[in-house]
Chains A and B, each alone.
Chain A
Amino acid sequence: MPQRFRRLQEPDGRWVEVEIEGTKTRVLEGESVAAAIFASGLPWCRTTPVSGAPRAPYCMMGVCFECLVEINGVPNRQSCQISVEQGMQIRRQPGASPEYP
């Protein structure tokens, strides 16, 4: 699977380190978790509860909920609306989302 996005070279970038699916990854300070997922090359972030189809972040602005992942053990985090933090553990989310009523 070829990488979909690449990072532009910028002289003054500040970085933090997160773990995405167990792999340590350097990501841009302040960016969203969903953006970090794309930068890491992970092709999808969850599977759907209905058919198990893979999905990736879609709208990047909080209106589609395709970007739900597990962050630091908590499921259903809307990753396009959450900024990365040093040491964050980000995992794909399989299927159903029991937290929501």
Chain B
Amino acid sequence: MEHHELIVIGGGPAGLAAATAAANEGAECLLLDEQSTPGGQVYRAVQTVPEQRARLLGPDYQAGRDLVTQFEQSGARHLPNTTVWNLNGRCEVGILRDGKTSLLHAKRVIIASGAMERPVPFPGWTLPGVMPAGAGQILLKSSALVPADGLVLAGSGPLLLLLAWQYLQAGVSIGAILDMTPHGNFWRALPRLPEALLAHHYIIKGLRYQLQLKMARVPYFTGVRNLRATGTDSIEAVEFDHRNTSKRIETSLLLTHFGVVPDSHLSRCAGCDHRWDSAQLCWRPQTDEWCNSSLAGIAIAGDGAGIGGAVAARHAGRIAGLGSAHALGHVGSMRRDEIGRDDQRWLNDDLRVRPFLEAMFRPPPELLYQPDDATVICRCEEITAGQVRRAIQDGHHDTNQVKFLTRCGMGPCQGRQCNNAVGQLLAHELDVDMMAAGGYRIRPPIRPLTISQLAALEDMQAGGGA
């Protein structure tokens, strides 16, 4: 087994900053990332995109270049195209690279696996031509692909507006934006506005996007409810309710967004403590001021530890990197505290906007808690909300019981798409909180491995291989 001082998992702003900070203090550091180039979700392909595309993605995107340059100068090693399929409490890391499995060991591990789009089931969401907005953005960043004219964007949150603005820059004619933010959210968010104004650049940016979309006369519907995608083999139309009338727009592409949630499979697989965050509506690992998890040697930074956005991820990454360099004996407490102090302050400043955003863009409760019986919850095994409800009525009172009875969450995505939906359905039906409903137990491998890949690993552990 290959040994390292520090392994960082994920090459987004959190992982890059963590590896850079630790390596700059003298730690030997290996960064593993599934993508082929550094940058994570927010700065995906930032080093390789042609200038024209970088410009239309905006200045926030281009800011990622510095981060990558600093990482490359730090002496930390980058292992791209590498999928982590296991992490345990002994800091052993299972990786898949070029189709081959192997095990690494580190004295410390920093998880920086980031976020994923919040999966929200609605009628027709499995039809080809329905995708999360983030997927549309990935196609733009790494492939210069933009939707054909007439696409519909639906949901709620800053990323939806950002993508609409980016499409506008690229000359795409947007068919409609369906804003599903419940009207009452604004009043619930209002008390958090004064604090959010301390990070007012975020609010100003959002208002500017909205103004430019208005000036471009993009049809914008607010208070949209009851979203449905219809079609036979692909989406043909979007149907929805607007001001008590039912509307239909024909389209070949619907991009939805309901916020992002931590991709917590790795930290849950390792056995770190998690709690349900009822403001962010997601499972969130417990971390301390140096981003340490409940398990010795494992820290978690960036959106994987709770949604804070790209800037917060960078500060948290640096804090985690310094914390690890300190724990490894490369830097004393005084120097750690001195260098870390600014990042801790900037992180806290940056997070001030979050409570407002969380309240303002909270998805409509009926979408989270009351899907129609016919709506597919588990995309892999095609289990409907009705089947999950029946399992609950039959006395299955936590998500793992429902999983074993219905197969919901047993497909190749391993419950990433249905876990929260099942939990929320259960919590609503039984009137319990999410901690009681529970999350799926996550076991390795957290990415499916083929029988031959597993066998090769067993040979290796038995001493048969390299």
Is B truly associated with A?
yes
Residues in chain A within 8 A of chain B (CB atoms):
1-8, 10-13, 28, 30-32, 35-36, 38-39, 43-44, 48, 50-51, 53-66, 68, 76, 81, 83, 97, 99-101
B138 touches A97 (CB 8 A): no
Q: Which of B138, B234, B412, B413 is A60 in contact with, Cβ under 8 Å?
A: B138
Closest to B137 in A: A60
State how many angstroms separate the Cβ of B44 from the closest Cβ of chain A: 9
Q: Which of A31, A43, A83, A99 is B129 in contact with, Cβ under 8 Å?
A: A43
B381 at the interface (CB under 8 A from A): yes
Distance in angstroms between the alpha carbons of A43 and B145 in the assembled complex: 15
If A8-B170, A53-B126, A100-B412 touch, does A66 touch B379 (CB 8 Å cutoff)? Answer: yes
Chain B residues with Cβ below 8 Å from A51 are 382
Given A30-B48, A59-B134, 7 further pairs, Cβ under 8 A: A4-B151, A10-B53, A38-B145, A39-B145, A48-B382, A60-B131, A81-B34
Chain B residues with Cβ below 8 Å from A59 are 116-117, 131-132, 134-135
Chain B residues with Cβ below 8 Å from A54 are 128, 233-234
Chain A residues with Cβ below 8 Å from B246 are none
B148 touches A6 (CB 8 A): yes
Grouping DSSP codes into helix (H, G, I), strand (E, B) and loop, the A interface class, with mixed when no group exceeds half, is loop
Q: Which of A10, A55, A83 is B52 in contact with, Cβ under 8 Å?
A: A10
B454 at the interface (CB under 8 A from A): yes
Q: Which of B142, B252, B411, B454 is A4 in contact with, Cβ under 8 Å?
A: B252
B41-81 contacts to A, CB under 8 A, are: 41, 48, 50, 52-53
Chain B residues with Cβ below 8 Å from A48 are 382
State how many angstroms separate the Cβ of B183 from the closest Cβ of chain A: 30
Chain B residues with Cβ below 8 Å from A68 are 412
Query: Could you show 30 A-B contacts with beta carbons less than 8 Å apart?
Result: A2-B148, A4-B129, A4-B253, A5-B148, A5-B253, A7-B143, A11-B52, A13-B50, A28-B144, A30-B142, A50-B382, A54-B233, A54-B234, A55-B126, A55-B379, A56-B131, A56-B234, A58-B130, A59-B134, A60-B134, A61-B134, A62-B83, A64-B413, A64-B416, A64-B417, A68-B412, A76-B448, A97-B412, A99-B450, A101-B451
Closest to B149 in A: A6
B138 touches A61 (CB 8 A): yes
If A4-B148, A43-B233 touch, does A100 touch B448 (CB 8 Å cutoff)? Answer: yes
Q: Which of B34, B135, B263 is A58 in contact with, Cβ under 8 Å?
A: B135
Q: Which residue among B143, B263, B381, B448 has the maximum number of chain A CB atoms within 10 Å of its CB?
A: B143
Type the 1/0 row for B103-144, where 1 means its CB is closer than 8 Å to any CB of A. Answer: 000000000000011000000001011111011001100111
B139 touches A35 (CB 8 A): yes
Chain B residues with Cβ below 8 Å from A2 are 148, 252
B142 touches A44 (CB 8 A): no
Chain B residues with Cβ below 8 Å from A64 are 379, 413, 416-417
Pairs A-B, 8 closest by C-beta atoms: A56-B128, A65-B412, A60-B135, A35-B143, A60-B138, A5-B145, A8-B144, A44-B128
